Amino acid sequence: MNLFTLVLQILLTIPLTIILNYINKKDNKVINRLLIPTFYIVLVAALLPIVKENIFLIVIFEIFVRNFYITNVVNVEKQNSGIGFIIESILSVAISLFAYNYFISQVDTVVPAPESIKPFLWFLLILYVTYLYNASTKERKEQTAIKTKKRRKEQTIMQYAKFKNQYYQNVKSRNDVINNLAYSIMIFEDSRKPKVNRKVTEYIGAIAKTERKQGIMQVTSYNHITDEESIKIVMDEMEAINKKEKLKGREQLEQLLSRYNPDEKAEIIEIYNQITEFLKK
C-alpha cells in the first residue's frame, strides 16, 4: 500500500463523515452508523479500484475525523463518550473488516458481471414497485381518513348550529359544560336515530304499550315524551350529577355520561371537543 493510496483514503473519509452526520440528523439509529460505513467502502471499492487495498481503514479514519468534528467544531461530547460509543466503533470497524476480508479483497473487481446481477435487479424492481404501491395505498388511506374526519367535524358544527337555533330555550344551564354536552348528546343520538326513525319507534311502542327510548335525547319511558321534554329530563339529570360530584375536566364528562358505554362516551366527548373548539374561534 503506497502513500498516494493512503492519502486518497483519508480524503475519502470526509464524504463518509458528511453522509453519517446528515443521516444522524434525519434518523439517529445505531444500525445506520454500523452499516453505512461498510456500504460506503464497498461502493468506493467498486468505483475506485485503486483504493481497494485495506479500504477498511476509511472507516477507522472516519471515526477519528467524526470525533474531532463533534468535540472541537460543534462542541458536543455526549455522542463520542462512554462505553456505548466505543462498542459501536468496534462493531463498525469489525463489520467493515469482515466485508473487506471475505468480499472486497477476494475479487478482482467489486462490480458484478451483468448476467449475475439480473436476478437481483428484478428483485429490487419488484421490491420497489411493492413499496410504491404500499406507500400509495397508505397515503390514500391517510387522505381519506383526514377528509372523513374533516367532513364529520363540519357536519357536527352544522348540526350544533341547527339544534342550538331549535332548542336554545331548552338548553340554558349556567354551566357551559352541561350546555355543550347536551348539544353533543343531541347530535350523537340524532345521528344514530333520526327524527323519522324516532317517530316510527314511538308509534310502535305506543301501540304495543312497551317501554321505549323517546325524544331526541332517547330517554327511556312508557309514556310519550317530546324532544323538548327529553332535553329537560337529561339536563336535570346532568345538573343533579354535577351538583353532587363537583368534578372537572374529563372526569366531569365521564360522570355526566354515566348512562352510556365507553365507546358511546368517547364518541360524544369527541363531538363535545369539536363544539368547544369551534366556540373558541
**pLDDT score, position 248:** 73
DSSP-H helix ranges across the chain:
3-26, 30-47, 57-68, 83-102, 114-167, 176-192, 195-208, 227-245, 249-256, 262-280
Residue 260 pLDDT > 80:
yes
Range with top average pLDDT, 76-90, 179-193, 244-258: 179-193
- Higher model confidence: residue 121 or residue 143? 143
Percent of the chain with pLDDT over 90: 25
Which band of pLDDT confidence, cut at 50, 70 and 90, is reported for residue 128? confident
Question: Which amino acid is located at 136 in the chain?
Answer: S
The answer to whether 256 and 238 are in contact (CB under 8 A) is yes
Q: Where do the structural domains in the chain lie, given as residue ranges?
A: 3-111, 146-280
The CA-atom distances, in angstroms, between 100 and each of 35, 250, 260 are 13, 61, 66
Least confident of 83-92, 176-185, 253-262: 253-262
**pLDDT score, position 74:** 54
Structure confidence by residue, pLDDT tens digits, 98-111: 988 888 888 777 76
- Higher model confidence: residue 225 or residue 163? 163
Which band of pLDDT confidence, cut at 50, 70 and 90, is reported for residue 20? confident
- Average pLDDT over the chain reads 84
Closest to 185 measured CA to CA, from 240, 245, 279, 264: 264
**pLDDT score, position 72:** 64
Least confident of 3-12, 44-53, 192-201, 238-247: 238-247
Residue 190 pLDDT > 70:
yes
pTM for the whole structure = 0.52
The CA-atom distances, in angstroms, between 127 and each of 6, 37, 124, 279 are 38, 24, 5, 49
**pLDDT score, position 70:** 62
